[in-house]
Structure 1
């Protein structure tokens, strides 16, 4: 074991140029912690929010929220992992853009032998997000129709497959015909190119004027009003991201006027804060992948030292599927 590991750190918020690769202290795990040596690290839009300061962090701060690798050491009280185990995680504590790190064991999950490290790193934050969207936020049953924005992204392609495996009709949106084709290939029943068509009008057309039961929206400001207008009466709006910027303040009376709508703003880290819940969610996700219901598509790979280029590609919406960093 070394005392330091190559780690991507920010000392100030800003553009991709603030991402610096440095030697960062690692140390030994304390009670309830593990030390893991990463084989692959995941890239997510929440990393952009942290880098830009939309989600505040204490500076300097390491970056990255998900990875997969091999457990090197465990602290007192850790019973579900041991040195040598393969593992993957999504963590509320940044630091996954690194060769190795120490973190709380509760959110680190044993990785089945049938899932390789790159897939493990690409699937945890995104896949666990899809799990809570479909299983833990509002009742969704076979035959229901949901609208999912950014359907060709890392979360979106998992959501398309999850919906198909559960008998749920998913209407996706994406910004190019190629991305729409990708969403359809992965299980979306329909996909709307929002640059060519008004997605609200198209959703109404596809649902016979009724609207959808649930909207899952990670885009934020640009799609929020249209998302509400796509819901049927008593429908549920799940706002779970801000890729285009945060949703501006709005009047609760709007929900009444548009059909007694419901709205929630969940986060993954609330759902996985409890160890038992986190491990159960991971097992459900792993089962979907091992059964073949879900295939994790990795379309971009960057060396860890090219992390700024990876962020630029993500923000420019030039990526599809998942992106990983290789330490």
Structure 2
């Protein structure tokens, strides 16, 4: 039996990873998630219905509790995804990002190190701590070039700065203590079960409710889009074949401007829900986000050549499937819109 601890397992990327891991008949997956605003009980219920899954409601910043959990589960792999992730929220309230992303990563590294240090030699060699990060730690690209594993760090927001700090801790624990850490830096994810503060679900749900579709600045900022299920496959491959101390950049190879994404969402909704078309009439250009990076793009050649991973999902087809998922899963997103976030502008306190 393979045992996994997945922090942030009830979140967007974490839940996709849990579903993938549970597809193994002999997997035991323990999700550690304190169910903040971005977690969804429906997602947790879906996972809990599968054999081998267990949820522990706990705070990753609590070193003693994380140590207790890791010691009791005895995992082969710890996937550390728990994090505050929304740039706009980090502008309004950076403290939560520093404590969750930096202190939380420290707590998980220490919990894993305490457990790993007492393992027999063979189990030590096979254990992995996979730390999941973002390409935003590298800052902003111009019109050309790509981020790679050797790109210098140059974070622009409280969010990306806190993730940069967590990356440095993860790499230091590998170099100083020998903990078998593998680090992932991924591009923008999209797909089912993403909290609707992020661009694609926000545009879909605002459009369905006839609300403005806010586009920052001129909408020319570029992102590289990666389907969440492709990302989950990459993380699993890193756990199985990744070399301790190595970093792997994961990208979808699908660069689009924000405005292109919004127009594509509108085009698909025009076909799916024509009664309120054209949805592009709802597009509204708003004041740009402070410190808004111009372009992200990933060179994923290392994970391709070393681990054999390439993205499988075509972006256009993946976007259509994602929008269809939101159209048919109102029971998933409606409580979030009603209780936690109704689509209002965030990140304005700067």
TM-score by length of 2: 0.35
| Structure with the bigger percentage of helix | 2
